Structure formats: C-alpha cells, structure tokens
Amino acid sequence: MDKKKIIIIVAVLVVIAVVVLFAICSNNLFKPAEEKLPSGTWTVKESYEGSLTSDFSTTVQNLDDATHYDLYIENVLIGEKCLLDESVRSLSILFTKPEAMEVKFYSSETAEEPLTTAWCHESGILVFPGTEYPPAGETVEEAEGGENSSAGEAGANHNEQSGSGEPGSAEKPGEEGEEPDNNDETSGSNNQSSSGDTGNANEAPGGNWIVEPYQSGVSDFKVTLQNLAQVTHYELYAAGTIVGERVALDHYVRSIGLMFSDPDLLEVYFFESATAGESLARAKCDGSGELIFLDD
C-alpha cells in the first residue's frame, strides 16, 4: 500500500474519532434528548360581577395530544368534559379547597382513559406526575419570581372560585352556603319515596326535596312529587348552573355536599321525558324541604 493511501486512511480515521468523541461528550450519540414534562396553570374567575358562580379554566404545555379535560373535586366530576380552551362554570364556593381539585386530560371528547392527571396547587400551578411544586430547593415565591400568580389568588378568593355537579355543566333553561352536616339529612320529606306520587292532575302540584349523605363530602339530592302525572325526569340547578345531568324521577343527583348547602340557590325543572326540550314545571327549594312551584 503506497504512502498516499495510508495518509488518507489515517486522516479519515482521525475525523471519525473526533466526531465520535464529540458526540459522546455531548451525550447526543447514545443518550436520547430528555422529553419535557407537561406543565400548566389553572385559574378561577367570577363569571360576572356579583355572580355566585365562577369559571374554571386551564393552560397546559408539553402535552400535544391533549384536546379535552375533566375537572374533579373530592373525586366528584364537576361539569362535563370540555375543550382545553373552554371553562367549567359552577358555584364559587366549590373552589375554596384547591388541594381537593384535580384535572384529567384526554386525547379526544370520547376518550375514556386520561393521558395524565394534574393536581391544583394553591398558587395556580398544575402539578403533573413526575414533577413537584415548588421545585426542590425553592419556595413558592422564588418559583414564581417573587409574585403570586393571579390563578393562585383566584384559588384562594371566594369571589373567584368555581365548580358544578356530576356530568353536565350548562346554563339552566331560562335563568341562572352553610355546609350540610354529612351525618344528618338536609331538609326535605322524611321517609318518603323519591319516585313521586302522581296524585290528582286537577290539584296544584306539590313535592319535597331531601339531601342525604353518601360519603365524606358527597351527598345525594332527591325529590318526591305529587299531582304531575306526566313528569318522568328532572334537572337540578344551583345558582343557574346544572348540577349533574337530567335524571329519572326516582333517581338522585350526586355531588359535593356544598352544592346543596343553600336552598335559596336551588331550582328543579321537571320534564316529561329524558329528551324533552321544554320543562313542564319548575320549583324552588324551600328551607323547610318543600318544593315551591313557580308560575311561568
């Protein structure tokens, strides 16, 4: 082999060695780039000045597959699955405990399994699995550059808090507390069936409502009904926001106990079917446990 070829081979080997050494030193050859963990924030704002309801919303980064989210408080679904740029509206009082709030992110509206779950830190930060807040070795003030985020302030301010009932969060058709003791029933009919009594159609409608404890922090709302034979389903609204979803007359609406804490905020709409658009009647919840039917 002539001298020229040897020089060329040596030069090539030197170049290859330099490239390999550089790649190893920069960890780009054998170690893949670290994937960024998801991060985000949550905010709660008063729906409008003087409103008893507030709107919960989120921002999220490094979670490209996410399109929708669910909000849970005390393991109870609040509202319904919504787009990332939409908000969940409900009673402001439900957002007084950020530590009980978590957000599940999904890849579509119909997805059943979440991509991931984040917990709401009182500062307004979403804490995802594999992360901690504030970061190790830092205080909340240091992590936030010495200022509290507006989300955190909203999370601690009762005038800027939010929530709803079980699945379904919408404005009620036409309109828009002392916490109940979970060891006692909150107002309503005593020892009555929740299915209702059809009664005499010629008599004025009547009925009762009751709240029964289900488990810690969670209760069931039920109604009894007389003299409305056509009614088969009902919807419950708190301060103008639906709690849960339309249910059969002999079923309950389950939600956080705070949702039912102020009877003055509760209204019930009655329907002749599960899909009827117009309600047959509506009633306010009296503090004594009676349903006060309203003239539309």
Instruction: Please report the sign of the dihedral spanned by the C-alpha atoms of residue 201, residue 248, residue 245, residue 210.
Output: positive
Of the pLDDT bands very low, low, confident and very high (cuts 50, 70, 90), residue 147 is very low
Mean pLDDT, residues 254-274: 93
| Domain spans, the chain | 39-160, 170-296
Residues 118-130 have pLDDT tens digits of 999 999 999 999 8
Instruction: Please report the sign of the dihedral spanned by the C-alpha atoms of residue 113, residue 260, residue 218, residue 274.
Output: negative
The predicted structure's pLDDT at residue 180: 39
**DSSP designation for 33:** P
Residue 292 identity: I
253: nearest Cα among 212, 196, 284, 287: 212
Cβ atoms < 10 Å from Cβ of 155: 27
CB 80 within 8 A of CB 167: yes
Residues 203-229 have pLDDT tens digits of 889 999 999 999 888 999 999 999 999
**17 conformational bin, left if phi > 0, alpha if psi -120 to 50, beta if neither:** alpha
Backbone φ, ψ for residue 109 (5° rounding): -65, -30
Stronger pLDDT, 18 or 284, i.e. the higher one: 284
Residue 48 CA from chain centroid, whole number: 19
CB 135 within 8 A of CB 143: yes
Mean pLDDT, residues 6-11: 76
What's the mean per-residue pLDDT of the chain? 79
The predicted structure's pLDDT at residue 119: 94
Backbone φ, ψ for residue 283 (5° rounding): -145, 145
Q: Say what the pTM is.
A: 0.60
Residues 83-120 have pLDDT tens digits of 999 999 988 988 988 999 999 999 999 999 999 999 99
